[in-house]
Amino acid sequence: MRAAINKANTLRGLVTSGFIRNIKSMSSSSSQSFVSRSVIKKVFAKLQKEGDGAVVRRGISRSEQKLLDPFLMLDEFSVSPPAGFPDHPHRGFETVTYVLEVNETSSSSFYFKGHKGTIYAGDVQWMTAGRGIIHSEMPEEEVNKGLQLWINLSSKEKMIEPNYQELSNSDIPKAEQNGVQVKVIAGESMGIQSPVYTRTPTMFVDFTLDPGAQFHQNVPQSWNAFAYVLESGEGGAVFGSSDSSPVSSHNVVVFGQGNDGVSVWNKSSSKKLRFVLIAGEPIGEPVVQYGPFVMNTQAEIDMTIEDYHYSKNGFEMAKYWKSQ
């Protein structure tokens, strides 16, 4: 039923936006008629210094926030001790930390002070800062690679109690078909669903495509969507339509709205393509950000700074907090 509705919408989209070339490529390359969103922007994630001696690649920053509501930031981090992100507060949004497996024997680990401890390669920590948390995020050993995504909360949820959802690698649903492997961190792909509860409706899927593989992922029509390319062979990562220009590693690919979702091709003949696809329902409210505080108005930011300063309204833990 839903597929039928999607197809009707697809056709309407074709008529109104004139995606004639796509009709041809659809009917020749795939038995199902999906129309992919097209790529509207590519952003190379440049290295920048953050935290204490840490360097991150920032893929989403303020200039993409409007296009990518509800997402505030995406960092690819690669840090080794003693660098890291010592004690800092958050309010008004969620952070998702995904520690990447660097290679088969990798045992990278990230230590979160102020909560349960260590997350290892392949694990996810989905943290809802709500009205306030203070934590430090430090690597325990070696080089630690990962992604950190910041997702905004609606005004109704900015001041909720903080919450942590922790998934170890083995809790994350995985599936494989036709040379495409998925790890579903949030939302649904290949008919399997993540156990994560997303207050701001979000999809977060880690894809690996064998050389020559292709895939189409549905994304709800009104959501904003982007991909971040982690690894790709030369000319491998092709999004939107099969003849669009390839994207290299460390790029954010922003998709336009509408249509059924996102098509991707791995055109490399020898290397796998790994990327994450992230999509979410836009909140549509004003965003006022001051570092780790994200509220709707400047007055709320001023209040937050005061709360943090006086260790109140959610920052009570700041009073007896001690850095290691």
115 assigned binding-site residue: no
Q: Of the two residues 71 and 85, which places its CB atom closer to ligand FJE in the complex?
A: 85
Q: Is 274 helix (H, G, I), strand (E, B) or coil?
A: strand
Strand bridging mode 214-218 / 261-266: antiparallel
Rounded to a whole number of angstroms, the minimum distance from the CB of residue 229 to ligand FJE is 18
Q: Of the two residues 19 and 112, which places its CB atom closer to ligand FJE in the complex?
A: 112
Dmax (CA) for the chain in angstroms is 65
Rounded to a whole number of angstroms, the minimum distance from the CB of residue 291 to ligand FJE is 4
Q: Is 159 helix (H, G, I), strand (E, B) or coil?
A: coil
Q: Of the two residues 137 and 260, which places its CB atom closer to ligand FJE in the complex?
A: 137
Residue 265 token pair:
């091709």
Rounded to a whole number of angstroms, the minimum distance from the CB of residue 257 to ligand FJE is 27
Q: Of the two residues 59 and 70, which places its CB atom closer to ligand FJE in the complex?
A: 59
Looking at residue 319, what DSSP letter applies?
Answer: G
90 assigned binding-site residue: yes
Of the candidates 98, 155, 89, 95, which has an alpha carbon nearest to the alpha carbon of residue 128? 95
* Distance separating alpha carbons of residues 280 and 202, to the nearest angstrom: 4
Q: Of the two residues 19 and 85, which places its CB atom closer to ligand FJE in the complex?
A: 85
Rounded to a whole number of angstroms, the minimum distance from the CB of residue 148 to ligand FJE is 4
DSSP string, 53-100: TEEEEEEE-HHHHTTTTTEEEEEEEEE-TT-BEEEEEEBSEEEEEEEP
* Distance separating alpha carbons of residues 76 and 148, to the nearest angstrom: 7
Q: Of the two residues 109 and 148, which places its CB atom closer to ligand FJE in the complex?
A: 148
Rounded to a whole number of angstroms, the minimum distance from the CB of residue 89 to ligand FJE is 8
137 assigned binding-site residue: yes
* Distance separating alpha carbons of residues 266 and 253, to the nearest angstrom: 15
Q: Which residues bind ligand FJE (CB under 6 A)?
A: 50-51, 56, 75, 77, 85, 88, 97, 137, 148, 291-292
Q: Of the two residues 88 and 271, which places its CB atom closer to ligand FJE in the complex?
A: 88
Strand bridging mode 109-113 / 224-231: unpaired
Rounded to a whole number of angstroms, the minimum distance from the CB of residue 10 to ligand FJE is 37
Residue 186 token pair:
């949030």
* Distance separating alpha carbons of residues 217 and 175, to the nearest angstrom: 13
| Residues 184, 186, 192, 193, CA torsion sign | positive
Sheet of 214-218: strand order equals: 214-218, 261-266, 237-239
135 assigned binding-site residue: yes
Rounded to a whole number of angstroms, the minimum distance from the CB of residue 255 to ligand FJE is 23
Give binding residues as ranges: 88, 90, 135, 137
Give binding residues for Fe cation as ranges: 88, 90, 135, 137
